[in-house]
A and B are shown apart, each in its own frame.
Chain A
Amino acid sequence: MYRIIQTETLAPTITKLTVEAPLIARKRKAGNFVIVRPTPTGERIPLTIVDSDPDKGTIVIIVQAIGKTTHIITGMKEGEYLMDVVGPLGEPTPVSDFGTVVCIGGGVGTAVIYPIAKALKEAGNRVISIIGARNRELVILEDEMAAVSDELIVTTDDGSHGKKGFVTDALQEIITGQGKPDAVYAIGPLPMMRAVANVTREPEIRTWVSLNPIMMDGTGMCGACRVTVGNEMKFACVDGPEFDAHEVNFDELIARNRTYAGPEQEAFSTWKNRTETTDCKHL
């Protein structure tokens, strides 16, 4: 059992949780993730470790409530326990001094890009960050990103905060205005990462993306997270989760991630209805 030390609502559906996990905190590097199973009947889901404090023995995860499991996790309070947390998993981000690096976070992907931007900054890079969201409410970690970036650009689809438009527009502007960066890291929804890959392919800018396929054990045992990278089968849990964006077959992954859409919907609506009925009794 893993105690939740602190929770913080970052956006209406996005929660930051600080969790006691001393062994993981000690080992964790930027890019690592954990598998969390919140309850005794819960499923195992992968979540990036956003930050860690080896002295306090804590890790930070940021979760967006989408389906049943993520709703359960974001609904947890300080002092409550996550049933299982295991990690750190995956290969750490390849961090070195590239020169100028653009770090792109889309939606809750900003939580994943943050530790990477931080590590890249610490490694001596000039870090330009772009964080994008649908609207102002969903922009997260703006201050944190600003603190680890030489330049921060915020974009929203509706223009309610920062620049109106997509992260790819801002990236294109940087390439045109400041010249080719030495590397790009992009983390967010799959269509966003695919779009970034398409922008950087032609100018041949080295680009990494962090993939979020379906996973269960996180140690290379189930094969659910297999992705095609450079025409080869890779397991995102042990070979990734970060890969060369220009080699990833995004279309295949988008289709694969829909595999359990039906049952996931069913689980969520059953759970939601049950919660609401229970709530009614207390009124």
Chain B
Amino acid sequence: MSGNGQQKKEAGNKVPDNKAPDSKAPDSKAPKRQKVIALKPKERMKIPRHLPNEQDPTERITNFCEVSNGFDIDKAIAEANRCLECNDPVCMHACPVNVDIPAFIQLLYQGDYAGAIRKIRESNYLPAICGRVCPQENLCENSCIVGKKLEPLAIGKMERFLADYEARSGTFTPPPLAESKGQSVAVVGSGPGGLTVAAELAQMGYDVTIFEALHEAGGVLKYGIPEFRLPKQIVDEEVERVKALGVKIETNVIIGRTLTIDELLGEMGFGAVYIGTGAGSPRFLNVPGENLSGVYSASELLTRVNLMKAYKFPEFDTPMQIGNKVVVLGGGDVAMDAVRTSKRLGPEQTLLLYRRSREEMPARIEEVHHAEEEGIEFHFLTSPVAIHGDENGWVKAIECQKMELGEPDEKGRRRPIPIEGSSFIIETDTVVVAIGQSPNPIIQQTTPGLETTKWGTIVVDDDCATSRPGIFAGGDISRGGATVIQAVADGKRASRSIDAYLAKLREELVPGTAKNHSKQE
């Protein structure tokens, strides 16, 4: 890319106000992007968005294989042809980690798949994962200029294609690592945030160890998100690519129990700690009957099926006991995952109850759409009041009431209000509660001086620094409940803060070492 004097043209294009946390403000001195796509803009605007091949709904509800098969080479390149190569790429600003989307699309268009995936990985080390589970429709694709007239570019599907192509062709080569800085960092939790922090810091020359409480690395990507949305092999491959940077992963270590944060910073000699333990503690409704047999948290259902592979029972030893009719309560992504997972376990009927209307559902539209295709029955404006059991302590019915929408709450969502005398009974033998997760409290309880909120989240500043020096946190443990890509964005921000913090320590120890990043060993 070359060319200068772009000042004037770009001056009018302001960065959107909702600047992403990781936003590197677009450099006004950056060279103007060279156009590489041969088609004229008008021709590009005639091409409709390409659709990925998907498993037929009637087929896919009988298996746990991935719903979407993504793009093949032809579709990926054809989709790349739709890019307008905007001078001010709003898609890139809308991405929480500012992936250089036009650049990777151009490389894809030119057939340089290795270059394209390298370009993505400069900003996001987990493209195979984010290409699948990132809510692109609210982020990059929502801001795509093509989308003003036609459907926006399928940016997520192109990202996924490049990641999968690299994996299938075995062309991954780890990016170069900076010279060792002779300092080590402990990362707590191997979810998307932890993996990102580890990958970033390893590339900067730090010695990184991830501590994972479960027996497999991946965090929520393993126990939470179902196989049919994010195959576990994909997660394993991404984890291997993080390990390829020299990152060590210690599974079966619960920080706060097996080791404490203070031990990591003290006798174990880590210079800094990143806490990315997520929000995995299930919330319950606080209605009568919630502890009956046959009432599960979404976390239990999903962990059994995803991490423990209950869908392969008895080949795998962990069972999941699903009855003839499953009622899932909630309207978020986890509720959607729970209801679609339940459906695949073979009940006769699968229902989802949500206390507001379709418009207020926090779940991704794509997943709601997939769930509807799969025959999930949605009951909106319906709220549970009590769960009733039989003489053996098993759930037999759920008592509900109808709701109507009142004034918007502080988040702008209309508040559901019960309608008097509207209660009714739904008979069922399985209830799954998917109304949200809270942060796991173990680290907060065992780390003196670590400031937390009344919701149990860890207090952090804009640089992911906690109330204690050397301890950083991000993702759901500080946000309370967010997305994979926000965890990735926090991870990137935190890695820069940790680098700055450790550089200061180096400077204090051996003046002059921080600046030239020299050979301290």
Contacts and interface: CB of A to CB of B under 8 A. Distances in A.
Contacts of A266: 314, 319
B297 interface: yes
A252 interface: yes
A233 B284 contact: yes
B251 interface: yes
A224 to B, nearest CB: 5
B316 A219 contact: no
> How would you classify the secondary structure of chain B's contact residues: helix, strand, loop or mixed?
loop
Contacts of A244: none
Contact of B317 (A41, A88, A89): A41
A43 B442 contact: no
Contacts of B299: 221-223
B252 interface: yes
B441 A220 contact: yes
A86 interface: yes
Contact of A219 (B290, B309, B442): B442
A27 B258 CA distance: 7
B393 A252 contact: yes
**Residue among B252, B280, B313, B320 with the highest chain A CB neighbour number at 10 A:** B252
B319 A263 contact: yes
B66 interface: no
Interface residues of B, number: 44
A147 interface: no
Interface string A174-200: 000000000000000000000000000
A259 B296 CA distance: 10
B37 interface: no
Interface in A228-243: 228, 233, 238
A69 interface: yes
Contacts of A84: 215, 251-252
Contacts of A27: 257-259
B440 interface: yes
A228 B291 contact: yes
B300 A222 contact: yes
A251 B318 CA distance: 25
Contacts of A228: 291
Contacts of B286: 233
Nearest to B445: A238
B213 A23 contact: no
B146 interface: no
Interface residues of A, number: 47
A269 B84 CA distance: 63
B258 A267 contact: no
B477 to A, nearest CB: 13
Interface in B282-324: 282, 284, 286, 290-294, 296-297, 299-300, 303-304, 308-309, 313-321
B282 A222 contact: yes
A269 to B, nearest CB: 10
In this complex, which of B291, B292, B320, B440 has the most chain A Cβ atoms within 10 angstroms of its Cβ? B291
A87 B252 CA distance: 8
A217 interface: yes
Contact of B258 (A42, A88, A226): A88
19 contacts: A23-B259, A27-B259, A41-B316, A42-B317, A43-B317, A44-B215, A69-B317, A84-B252, A217-B214, A217-B303, A221-B280, A222-B300, A223-B282, A223-B299, A226-B291, A263-B319, A266-B319, A267-B317, A270-B314
For the complex of A and B, list the 10 residue pairs with the smallest distance between their C-beta atoms, beginning with the closest. A255-B393, A263-B319, A223-B297, A221-B280, A84-B215, A43-B318, A43-B317, A222-B300, A86-B252, A223-B282
Given A27-B259, A256-B293, 6 more contacts: A27-B258, A41-B316, A217-B213, A221-B440, A222-B300, A251-B393
Interface of A: 23-24, 27, 37, 39, 41-44, 68-69, 83-89, 216-217, 219-224, 226-228, 233, 238, 249, 251-252, 254-256, 258-260, 262-264, 266-267, 270-271
